[in-house]
A = this chain, B = another copy of it.
Amino acid sequence: MKTIKSRFEIFRQKTHIIIYGTNTFAGRLFDLILLGLILLSVLIVMMETVKGFDQKYHTELVFCEWVITLFFTIEYLLRIISINKPFRYIFSFYGIIDLIATLPMYLSLFFAGTSVLTTIRALRLLRLFKILNHPQFSSQSVHLKESILASRGRILVFMYFVLISCVIIGSLMYVVEGADAGFTSIPTSIYWCIVTLTTVGYGDISPVTPLGQFIASFVMILGYGIIAVPTGIITAEIAKNTLRKKSLKIHCFSCGSEDHLENAKFCQNCGSELDEAK
């Protein structure tokens, strides 16, 4: 009885290393296979919506979906078994997505109405973000994350300014252009203003009166100019991080100066040798 328990414990530990770990060969192989299957499942969901392709290969697509769903189900159960605090995983962000990614297929056996279920399947794609936890990507993404978080406050102030401008200009254009030019309501006019300010410019709605075209020109030049603001904010943060990264590496223990090039051997300030230890 005890042996079975200890055997199960060994199985749990091994499974934990393979599923959650990335240091062993098996762990990395598992991650690669999982990544491949997620991408494949996304591809299958995509191709099912392409009419011509789906009619030809419907059976094959459904079969593949069932195989992947089974794999995901087993993976989900193993994740719960092998972790010490299963409820923490189950109610975590990825835990919920892992569950939602498998459920629709089983539900489709009992209920019809595939169109609604397709929406839920799309959420499966969010699991792809997990790869960002892989070592080769994480240092880069942490760096980016820091810069973006540091500039969050100013970006929000900017977004706030952009949205209020869009509401005011949208209301103005609704009065100037009117419903005949496609500006059927203020929300639609705000939509047009966002399309124009962000320099997307679909052309599904475009001003026809001289005054409307004049205001539109102003919005375009505004949008063309103020894109400099978020760019400037984020660039300044990334530049600070990039320059700081360099200097953090080399510290002079004689004079405390920290502003050295990466390949420096001697302190640029006092001439004493730099400690290569760190």
Interface status of A157 (Cβ within 8 A of chain B): yes
Q: Which residues of B contact A58 (CB under 8 A)?
A: none
Q: Which residues of B contact A247 (CB under 8 A)?
A: 261
Tell me the dominant secondary structure on chain A's binding face: helix
Q: Is the CB of A235 within 8 A of B231?
A: yes
A194 to B213 Cα, complex, angstroms:
10
Cβ contacts A137-176/B at 8 Å (1 or 0 each): 1001101100110000111111110101001100110110
CB distance from A93 to the nearest CB of B (A): 14
Q: Which residues of B contact A269 (CB under 8 A)?
A: 264-266
The winner among A115, A141, A216, A264 for most chain B CB atoms within 10 A is: A264
> Which listed segment binds B: A7-15, A21-29, A101-109, A238-246?
A238-246
Q: Which residues of chain A from 219 to 276 have any CB-CB distance to chain B below 8 Å in the complex?
A: 220-221, 223-225, 227-244, 246-247, 256-273, 276
Of all chain B residues, the one with the shortest Cβ separation from A116 is B175
A220 to B194 Cα, complex, angstroms:
7
Q: Which residues of B contact A51 (CB under 8 A)?
A: 184-185
Select which of B157, B200, B231, B239 is within 8 A of A228 by beta carbon.
B231
> Which listed segment binds B: A64-72, A75-83, A203-211?
A203-211
Q: Is the CB of B185 within 8 A of A198?
A: no
Q: Is the CB of A263 within 8 A of B273?
A: no
Q: Is the CB of B125 within 8 A of A140?
A: no
Q: Is the CB of B261 within 8 A of A262?
A: no
Given contacts A125-B171, A171-B45, A266-B269, contact A200 B220 (CB under 8 A): yes
Select which of B156, B213, B256, B263 is within 8 A of A268 by beta carbon.
B263
Interface status of A34 (Cβ within 8 A of chain B): no
Given contacts A50-B185, A122-B172, A168-B126, contact A229 B144 (CB under 8 A): yes
Select which of B119, B187, B223, B260 is within 8 A of A198 by beta carbon.
B223
- Can you list 17 residue pairs at the A/B interface with Cβ under 8 Å? A49-B185, A49-B187, A129-B164, A194-B217, A195-B220, A197-B224, A200-B220, A202-B202, A203-B204, A228-B230, A236-B242, A239-B242, A240-B243, A240-B246, A260-B261, A263-B268, A266-B271
